[in-house]
């Protein structure tokens, strides 16, 4: 099957969770997918299943990315990889964790997008997705750096759309609430994440996010879904918490 507009896609964080579901969906919809991540065995398994090309790299090192974009003209980029190493007040967040969140959640998507845009703008064809988070739209306690990286991505998307006017390149931010993945495995531990976050209510599954991306992608090129917020029906954003100082 041929996609109506595009032929090739790069998906970051394709080794697990939301990224893996997106890579599967886009490959199923006829795109040639370059599946990025560090876990080569997970990427190889995805490749066997979908025909995607596995590209094992650490997004903190941008050199292999440059080599990839020099070789291939990519139509679709899904900036999905991200991490949340811990749930802790900002004062007790380690400097290494601050840096790794900024590097993977913010710095890498900006550079990767710039690399992709050279050819997209020249060919007047492309769609760049960013998987942000409700944490970048509403304040949450104990995830200040994570929220800051996602908020930066959100405004970046709006500004990028201004810069790209007239280029025919679309930009979409998806800001999900809780999705059932391994994101919280380091922050909470696998078992606690399961019990606290997912078994208590009905979670969004990664395939639902993949479905939204595929829908935005298949719309006519003159329609740009600029932002999508999506929550489990059982989760509301915001809310207030009052702490007594007595």
Ligand X SMILES: NC(=O)c1ccc[n+]([C@@H]2O[C@H](COP(=O)([O-])OP(=O)(O)OC[C@H]3O[C@@H](n4cnc5c(N)ncnc54)[C@H](OP(=O)(O)O)[C@@H]3O)[C@@H](O)[C@H]2O)c1
The residues annotated with a catalytic role in the active site are 146
152 and 101 Cβ atoms separated by less than 8 Å: no
Measured from the CB atom, the residue of 47 and 125 that comes closer to ligand X is 47
First and final C-alpha spacing in the chain: 65
Binding segment toward ligand X, per CB under 6 A, in 52-60, 64-72, 212-220, 237-245: 52-60
Rounded Cα distance between 10 and 43, Å, is 13
Q: Which of 9, 10, 11, 18 binds ligand X (CB under 6 A)?
A: 18
230 and 134 Cβ atoms separated by less than 8 Å: no
Classify 21 as helix, strand or coil: helix
Asked if 101 touches ligand X (CB under 6 A), the answer is: no
Rounded to 10°, the helix 17-28/206-218 angle is 40
Measured from the CB atom, the residue of 36 and 125 that comes closer to ligand X is 36
- State the nearest-atom distance from the C-beta of 103 to ligand X, in Å: 7
Q: Is 106 left (phi over 0), alpha (psi -120 to 50) or beta?
A: alpha
Measured from the CB atom, the residue of 221 and 229 that comes closer to ligand X is 229
Asked if 104 touches ligand X (CB under 6 A), the answer is: yes
Asked if 136 touches ligand X (CB under 6 A), the answer is: no
Asked if 19 touches ligand X (CB under 6 A), the answer is: yes
| Chain contacts with ligand X (rule: CB under 6 A) | 13, 15-19, 37-39, 58-60, 80-83, 104, 131, 133, 176, 178-179, 181-183
């Amino acid at each position: 099957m041929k996609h109506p507009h595009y032929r090739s896609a790069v998906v970051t964080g394709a080794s697990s969770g939301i990224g893996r579901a997106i890579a599967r969906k886009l490959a199923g919809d006829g795109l040639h997918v370059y599946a990025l991540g560090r876990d080569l065995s997970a990427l190889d398994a995805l490749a066997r299943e979908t025909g995607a090309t596995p590209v094992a790299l650490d997004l903190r090192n941008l050199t292999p990315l440059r080599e990839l974009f020099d070789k291939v003209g990519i139509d679709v980029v899904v900036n999905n990889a991200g991490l949340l190493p811990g749930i802790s007040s900002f004062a007790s967040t380690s400097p290494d964790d601050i840096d790794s969140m900024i590097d993977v959640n913010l710095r890498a998507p900006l550079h990767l997008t710039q690399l992709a845009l050279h050819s997209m703008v020249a060919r007047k064809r492309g769609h760049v997705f960013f998987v942000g988070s409700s944490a970048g739209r509403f304040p949450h306690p104990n995830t200040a750096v994570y929220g800051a990286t996602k908020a930066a991505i959100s405004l970046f998307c709006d500004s990028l759309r201004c810069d790209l006017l007239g280029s025919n390149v679309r930009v979409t931010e998806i800001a999900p609430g809780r999705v059932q993945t391994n994101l919280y495995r380091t922050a909470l531990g696998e078992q606690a994440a399961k019990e606290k976050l997912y078994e208590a209510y009905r979670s969004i599954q990664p395939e639902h996010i993949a479905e939204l991306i595929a829908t935005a992608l298949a719309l006519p090129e003159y329609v740009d879904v600029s932002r999508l917020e999506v929550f489990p029906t059982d989760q509301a954003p915001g809310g207030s918490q009052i702490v007594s100082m007595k």
